[in-house]
Structure formats: structure tokens, C-alpha cells
Amino acid sequence: MKEKRTFALGRENPSWADAFRGEHSLLYGLLLAPVFIVLLYQVGRGLGNTSYVLYWLTAVALLVRKRNSVFPPAALILFLALLAWGTLSAALSINPDGAYGKWAQYALLGSSYFVTWALVRIIPEFNLERAIRMIGIAGLLGFAYYAARFLILSMSPDFHPELQVHGLVPAYLAPFALYFLWQTFKGQPGVVLVLAYLASLILLLVFSNSLTEVLTLAAALAVLVFFVVPNKRLLLLVLGGVALLFVVLILLFDPAGHVLSQAEHSHEDWFTVLNQLTSFRTQLWYQAITIPPPNQWLGVGPSNVGLYPPVVITETDRVGHLHNLLLDCWYELGVVGLALYVMFYGAQIRSMRSTSPTSRQRGLLYAAVAGVLVATMLEQSYRSIHAALVVPFLFALYSPARSDTRL
């Protein structure tokens, strides 16, 4: 006999305290662990890696006890095929030992999709609204740590914000944080808190001298506005205002403004100016395209792109990867690996079709994913915690089982 489960996707509006102290709080804590682990990666890579391994072992042990977890077949087959192809690419690479380690790390991070998928189905009467609010709290915690670190380090005369502080996580979690503030604090106090939080985050990102993080937040806010503003004329007006605000702030405070100002009074060609604006990203991308991997079908192996010419910036400077999700994946895993990678994420998106979250809830998901996508197209690798852990986690979170599914 099938056990019926209902998944509350509506706006039951649990209080902020109930998000952590409510029923099945331990299961919700384990379910939402990936987003809090990302915050620990802000503190240190070792702390993040340790916390993720502990989370993974705990979750797997719980799922093994259940014994009857069922995963989406398309995503599972594509993930296994991707892992097999990456392992083959690593075995045939010039540095297989390093490739195996990085690929095993990606396999653990990517498996968060299936862990989250199963945990959602273990929690009785899973409440997406409650999960969203917990992510919003995580976003606020990430912002608090980012702001505190910025303020403390800025007191030093040797402060280099572009190297010492990183606001990428608060940037793409901002939609969830804004939603939490808006839903928790009603009326005028809520409006003041939302505006104060958003203004503080924007200024911190701009003063951190990272164009990638500024564009990440801009993309997340643009997608969020698209989902929450029903009036199309007002939507265009708000989107235009957001774009204008970020352009002005970038030109006034971000290094991009200084680059454009200098270019106006020089005779540099457009490619040189664009290269300076992107911190040599365009040079890396151009070199990757003009100097393709020796085997374009198989690639050079996970993490091995750093051993090849496209990552060379100058005679003495080189980077570890190409700072672009698609180019990194293609160069390291080849055309076949890139195709499997894209199809794996496509299968995750397809699995969400049976869900019925509200427009605002969907907007939070797509806004955060849009922010991560912008970051991965400008800076992060396809194996980064943001692309490999956070995005699959969110897709699985928004893919609850139907009411007649039995585990």
C-alpha cells in the first residue's frame, strides 16, 4: 500500500524561529547543510571540505538505512556517464594523480543533487517555504561575515579587497535573503530593512573591486524583479533602473570605471580595453579557442588545463583555469564531457516540471542560478562549489516527489 505524502509548496508563512525550531528540524538542517557549508568555504577551504565530507557521510548513512531511495533515472545515468568520462580523461592525462583528486572532489560535490533529492522525500510533509527561509537566513549570515571581514581588514593600510574579501556567496544568495526579510518583517520596518540590506550589499561589492561579484548580484536582482513585478511596463522601468544604478556605481567606484576613463584618453584598441576590463579574461578565452586541447573529444583531464599554453597571461604569470565554465569544461573533458555536463543539468531542470511552487518561489531559484551562472562564465570553474554544489542542490530542492511517491 502506498504511503501518501503531501508537499506544502504554498505560503504557510512559518516564523523565522520556526524555520530552525519547527518539526523535523534535524532533517531540515541536514537537507539545507550544503548552503551553510558554502558559507564555511568563505572562512576557509579546509573548513568547507571537512564540513562537506561530514555532511555527505551523515546523509549517505541515513539514506542507506532507508534502503529504498529512488533517484531520477535520466539525471543518474548522465551523472554516472559524466563521472566515467572524466575518469577516462584523467587516466589519459599528463598528470593523472592530480586529475583523479580533483575529479573525485567534483563527484562528491555533484552528488549533492541526489542526496538532496532523497532527503526531500524523507521529510514528512516537506515545506518548501520553510526551506527557502532557512536559505534566506544563510544568505544574511554570509552577508554579516562578509561585511564584518571587510570592515575589520579595511583598517589595515595594506588592505586589498579584491584579494582578501569575497562577496560572491552573499551576492547570489541575496534573493533568498531579501525574500526572508520581506516576509518576516511586515510594513515599514520590512521596507527599511530590505533597502538597508540591499544598499549595504551593493556598496560592499562595489568597494571590493570585483566586477564579477557586482554583475552576479545584478543578474540575480534582474531575474528576481522579472518574477515579482507583474506589470510589464513597471518591470521594464525597474530593470532599467537597476541596470542604470549598477552602471553608475561601477563607473564611479569599481576599477572598471578607471579603465574606461583611461581608455578614453588613449589610443588603445578595443580588445586591449576589454582585456583590461575583464582582468585578462578575454585573452584567456581567445587563447583557449585558438589553441584548442590536443584531443578535443577527450580533453586534457580534470584540473590539467593549467599545464597548457592558454592559461599563460605573460611570460611570468599564468592562472589555474580559464575562468569560464564552458571553456574550462570543454578543455578539460572535451566535447563529449561538455555535452554530458550540459545534459546533466538539463535533466535536473526537466525534473522540476512536476512541481508547483509559487511564482515568487520560482523567481528565487532562477535568480540565484542566474547569479551563479554569471559568476561561472566570468570567474569560476565548472568544478567550483557554486556550480557543482549549490546549483544541483537548488534544483533538487525544488523537485519534490508527487503525493503518491513512496520511498
Residue 271 lies in a domain: yes
Task: Give dist(CA 386, CA 110) in Å, integer.
Answer: 10
Residue 212 CB-half CA count within 13 A: 20
Q: Indicate the range of 11-20, 277-286, 357-366 predicted with least confidence.
A: 11-20
Give the pLDDT band of residue 11 (cuts 50, 70, 90): very low
pLDDT top residue among 291 and 66:
291
Residue 171 lies in a domain: yes
Residue 11 lies in a domain: no
Residue 2 lies in a domain: no
**Cβ-based neighbours of 297, under 8 Å, separated by 6 or more:** 334, 335, 336
Residue 118 lies in a domain: yes
Sequence letter at residue 350 = R
Residue 138 CB-half CA count within 13 A: 25
Residue 403 lies in a domain: no
Residue 10 lies in a domain: no
* pLDDT attached to residue 260: 52
**Cβ-based neighbours of 81, under 8 Å, separated by 6 or more:** 340
Contact yes or no for 58/30 (Cβ under 8 A):
yes
Instruction: Tell me the residue range of the domain where 124 lies.
Output: 18-397
Q: What is the DSSP string of 285-312?
A: HHHHHHS--SSTTT-S-TTGGGGSGGGB
Task: Give dist(CA 147, CA 144) in Å, integer.
Answer: 5
Please calculate the CA angle 245-364-44 and round it to the nearest 5 degrees: 85
- pLDDT of residue 317 exceeding 80: no
If one counts the domains in the chain, the total is 1
- pLDDT of residue 211 exceeding 90: no
* pLDDT attached to residue 94: 93
Residue 6 lies in a domain: no
- The beta-strand segments (E) located in 306-375 are none
pLDDT top residue among 179 and 317:
179
* pLDDT attached to residue 132: 92
Give the pLDDT band of residue 9 (cuts 50, 70, 90): very low
Task: Give dist(CA 110, CA 83) in Å, integer.
Answer: 10
Query: Which residues on neighbouring strands pair with residue 137, listed in sequence order?
Result: none
17-75 per-position pLDDT tens digit: 566 666 678 888 899 999 999 999 988 888 999 999 999 999 999 888 877 678 889 99
Give the pLDDT band of residue 238 (cuts 50, 70, 90): confident
Please state the pTM of the whole predicted model.
0.86
pLDDT top residue among 403 and 297:
297
